[in-house]
Amino acid sequence: MDSLLTLSIGDYHLVDLTLRLTMALVAAAALLLGLSTMCVVRRLRFPLILGSVALFAAAWFESGIARAWQGAFELAGSSYCVTGLPLASEDRILAWAFGLPSILFCLGLSQLDPASKPFRHLCWSVLGLAILGPLFHALFLIGFVLCVIQLRGITFPAAAGSSLISTAANRIALLGMTVGIMLTEAGHLHLLPLGKTADSILVHGELIRSFGDMLALALPGATLLVSILNLPRKDTQDSSS
C-alpha cells in the first residue's frame, strides 16, 4: 500500500476543475461560432459552422478526459487513490485532430482567395494534419508549420485596407496554437519542472496539458470569431454580390 499512488483532495479537485473548465471554454467557443452565423454574409457562414462543429467535437473529447480523470481516482479517507482505470490520453489527441486543423482551415477559407495557391496548399496541409497528424508525431508538427506558412498572408497582410482587429486576432490564434504545442512538446521531452514525486508529476502534467488545450482550441476558436466579424465590409459586400 505504500507504493499506491494517492492525491490530496486539493490536488484532485484542482485538476478536475481545470479539465471541466477547459471543456466548458471549448464548448462556449463552439456555441458562439454557431450563433454568430446570423451576423455575417452567406460566404462567411460556412467557416463559422465548420469551426463550431469541430469545436463541439473537441469539447466532447475533452469531456471524456474529465470523465476518465474522475473514474481513475476514488476518495479513500483524506485523499484520493487510484482505481486502476486508465486516463483518456487518446481523447486529447482526437480533440486536437478535430479542432486545430479545422480552425486553421476556417481562417484560410474566410480570408484567403479560394483560387490562390496558398489556399490550395493550405487545404492539403490541413488534410494531412488531420489524418496523419494523430498517427505520426513528426508529421503533425510539419503539417502545422506548413499551415502557418500558408496563412502568412492573413497574419502579415500586404494590403493597406486590411482590418487591424482581424489581423491581430489571426496572430493571436496562431500564437496560441504555437504556445500550446510548445508546452505539450516540452512536457513530452521532460523539459518542464513538474516535480519529483509521482503525484506532483501527474497533477502538474495534467494542468499544463489542459492549459495547452485552452491555448490550442478555445483561444483560437474565440479569435476566429473576432477575426471573421471584423473583416472589412468591402470584402464581405463584394463576396455577397
Q: How many CA atoms lie within 13 A of 11 on its CB side?
A: 18
Note whether residue 241 is domain-resident.
Answer: no
What whole-number distance in Å separates Cα of residue 69 and Cα of residue 16? Answer: 7
Which structural domain, as residue segments, surrounds residue 95?
A: 6-233
Q: Taking a C-beta distance cutoff of 8 angstroms, is the pair 118, 153 a contact?
A: yes
Phi, psi dihedral angles at 193 (to 5 degrees)? -75, 85
Note whether residue 192 is domain-resident.
Answer: yes
pLDDT at 159: 63
What whole-number distance in Å separates Cα of residue 68 and Cα of residue 76? Answer: 18
Note whether residue 238 is domain-resident.
Answer: no
Alpha helices (H) along 73-197: 89-111, 117-131, 137-150, 152-155, 164-188
If you average pLDDT over residues 67-81, what whole number do you get?
Answer: 90
Q: How many domains would you assign to the chain?
A: 1
Note whether residue 1 is domain-resident.
Answer: no
pLDDT at 1: 42
DSSP state of 214: I
End-to-end CA distance of the chain: 72
Q: What are 24-38's pLDDT values in tens digits?
A: 999 999 999 999 999
pLDDT at 232: 79
What whole-number distance in Å separates Cα of residue 90 and Cα of residue 45? Answer: 31
pLDDT at 188: 83
Note whether residue 127 is domain-resident.
Answer: yes
Give the residue with greater pLDDT, 162 vs 139.
Answer: 139
Which range among 15-19, 86-90, 175-179 shows the weakest confidence by mean pLDDT? 86-90
* Residue whose C-alpha cell is 499512488: 5
Q: If pLDDT is split at 50, 70 and 90, which confidence band does 5 have?
A: confident
CATH code, domain carrying 105:
1.20.1070.10
pLDDT at 236: 45
